[in-house]
Structure 1
Amino acid sequence: MHQPLISNLTHQIQFQIDSNLEDVALAGVSVRALCNHFEMGSEVAYQVELCVVEMLNNVIEHGYKFQKGHDIKVRFGVGDGRLEVIIIDEAEPMGGTNEPRLCYDIENIESIPENGYGRYLVKQIMDQVDYRTERGSNYLSMVKSLS
């Protein structure tokens, strides 16, 4: 069985939200506060918050189809020069690994699509992204190097 890397990290915390878009902001604020507590800098705090919010929105929208009443766990860990966030849910697993086609006119802001870039964005920001489904649970692990 594949174990999340977070088990080896010095500082760990886990919290849980409902599959309700209104609760995603709480998770974002919590992650930013944790990043600030560990003095990661405002840019890293913003990036990590953005990634967590994007992925929680994906779970709620695509996995749970906006259905409230499902638990989503967020594990946050720091140590060994890295930060790791794992999002755990029991929603419909994420399908496809297709990257978005970056075909828009940078001069025309109206041509930039609003949806479909969350996973791409996370892969650009984080140093390692891993997704797996095991025994009915989905694990999305995002690692950011702090060195």
Structure 2
Amino acid sequence: METIYQQYNIRLSIDSRLDQVRVLSGALRGIGKELELSDEKLGQLELMMVEAVNNVIEHAYQMQGGNDVRVRVEYSPAEVNLIISDSGRTMPASLHSEVREMPDPDDLPEGGWGMGLIQLLADSIRYNIDATGNHLHVNKLLA
């Protein structure tokens, strides 16, 4: 008899304020516990999401509240996909290409570690722009 696994597609949204990121982080921890993700995988997902959302608030929206930051969590037993979406300024291509190494600290402004961390922790990343906004897709394999 084949086991049938439930797949999930969960959507969260916050205002573009840094104080809202903590609430979003708590929501992701709750989702991860419900889905019985390991502490290690959940911690990695949370760090990637927080870094991506902080980048959206700081760079895409330039610290201006009143804008929508959307996070979609797609779960299957094999993987979790986070899709972080916004309608702000687009990300420079040099920041979202899959470099897979930490940038040189001497070349970074203060706080410039976000995409480097995401690239190291994710199994794959993709960035696209369409009529609904900017979308960073972050994939983490669970097996």
TM-score (norm 1): 0.82
Q: Does 1:143 align with 2:135?
A: no
Partner of 1:115: 111
Instruction: Specify which of 25, 28, 34 is matched with residue 28 of structure 1.
Output: 25
Q: Does 1:72 align with 2:77?
A: no
User: Do the aligned partners of 2:88 and 2:134 also contact (CA within 8 Å) in 1?
Assistant: yes
Instruction: Specify which of 5, 11, 15 is matched with residue 12 of structure 2.
Output: 15
Secondary structure of the corresponding residue to residue 94 of structure 2: coil
Do the aligned partners of residues 135 and 113 (structure 1) sit closer, same or farther apart at CA in structure 2, a change above 3 Å counting? Answer: closer
- Supply the distance in 1 between the matched residues of 2:110 and 2:42 (Cα, whole angstroms): 23
Q: Does 1:125 align with 2:110?
A: no
TM-score (norm 2): 0.84
How many aligned positions are there? Answer: 132
Q: Which runs of 5+ in 1 are unaligned?
A: 1-8, 105-111
Q: Which runs of 5+ in 2 are unaligned?
A: 1-5
- Supply the distance in 2 between the matched residues of 1:77 and 1:96 (Cα, whole angstroms): 25
Spell out structure 1 runs of 4+ moving beyond 4 A. none
Percent identity over paired residues: 31
CA RMSD, aligned part only? 1.9
